[in-house]
Structure 1
Amino acid sequence: MPVKIPYPVQFNPYKHHFGFLLDEIVRWQAANKNELKEYLQRIGNNICDFYLGALSCHEVCAFCSEYFKHLKINNKQALIIWLGNSDWKKISLPDHSEWLIKPGNLAQRYVHIHPAKYSEHTIRVRATTLKTVLALVIHQLPLQTNATRNLQHVNQIRKDYLDLSPVKSVHKSQSRIVKLWQLFEDKSF
């Protein structure tokens, strides 16, 4: 992973950070496509909250790291005390995005962060949708005006590359795949 996540933060930019993935796509397009499956698997299979804001992955993590340094929370036990009776808390970053904080599962990365649900600059996406769109963009399959052609591309990628079941429809007005695909294409590579 080209970005260094500062300690004590635990963060998976593969499933939570749009800007990080934009940079990765450029790198992935020049790489062996078969090796990319490993990276796409890091996205998992759940619904994820996906940050679209202007803060870089490093900036998000650095703000969180500094936040806890300022509070003098320097270990997992101190974080658990700060959380009190709650499993998680939210903090706001300078761009008004909110981030969920919970205990990390790694000794030196005891602050696990991800975008808060329905926060500013954040959308919810299914991991399978995100993986499908990333594979489409990596393979340079452009979004078409023809929904039938889009459906063919989507299902080809899902079946042949991601081992996912096909979808029934990708009509623009309903398809989260098309909306996310358009979001990535609008950023041009």
Structure 2
Amino acid sequence: MYIRQFIQAHSEADDSFLQAQLRTIGSSQLDLYLGELSALQIADETILYLQKHHTLAPEAYRLYLSGSGAAYQLISLSDESEWVLRWGVVEGRHVHLHPARYSRYTLRVKANTLKSAVAVSMAVRRYKQPLSLALVNQVRTQWLGLAPIPSSLTSGTFARLVYLLDDKETS
């Protein structure tokens, strides 16, 4: 999982770098893909799909997207997960891809919950401390500029998300 690799690679990075990276997650909600396909496999399958449908070139891709009337298209990958294709906003990359809403192998999370879970996972590694409400609230207030949370929110989805992001989960 890309996020696990990011946590492992950047746990010791400067706080300003981490804050900037976490801000890119946004502030709404998103579907987090938890399936078996790697980021490279997802990209390769998407490219093959676009090549097969003769829509990989920028102008052909733009026409393909406009054909739905909604400026996006849905595709399914080999694990039956669904993905949304949109026009890219990153310079030199016209294809933007993200998991479809409530797709197979996804978990729908609020962006601030995901940011908090990523930041807490990094803090646990950095400070070699166990997950605690105090650590969660320290990270939320100091790194993310978010309000502290009550103890009831450190169980359930949030705790599950921190557990899923722990790289020991993959071994």
> How far did 1:188 drift?
6.5
Structure 1: give runs of 5+ residues left out of the alignment.
1-18, 144-149
Q: Note the alpha carbon deviations across 1:105-146, whole angstroms, 9 max, x for none.
A: 356322211001111111111111111111111111433xxx
Code of the residue aligned with 2:160 in structure 1: it is K
C-alpha separation between the residues in 1 aligned to 2:130 and 2:56? 47
Q: Note the alpha carbon deviations across 1:69-89, whole angstroms, 9 max, x for none.
A: 121113333223323123222
C-alpha separation between the residues in 1 aligned to 2:160 and 2:37? 22
CA RMSD in angstroms comes to 2.1
Secondary structure of 1:139's match? Answer: helix
C-alpha contact (below 8 Å) 2:47/2:56 kept by paired residues: no
Higher helix share: 2
Partner of 1:162: 144
C-alpha separation between the residues in 2 aligned to 1:34 and 1:86? 37
Partner of 2:157: 176
C-alpha separation between the residues in 2 aligned to 1:107 and 1:137? 31
The within-5 A match list for 1:88-167 is: 88-106=72-90, 108-140=92-124, 141-143=129-131, 150-167=132-149
C-alpha contact (below 8 Å) 2:114/2:161 kept by paired residues: yes
TM-score (norm 1): 0.76
The one of the two structures with greater contact order (alpha-carbon pairs below 8 A, sep at least 6) is 2
TM-score (norm 2): 0.83
Structure 1 residues 35, 184: CA separation in 2 closer, same or farther (over 3 Å shift)? same
Identity of aligned residues (%): 33
Partner of 1:10: none
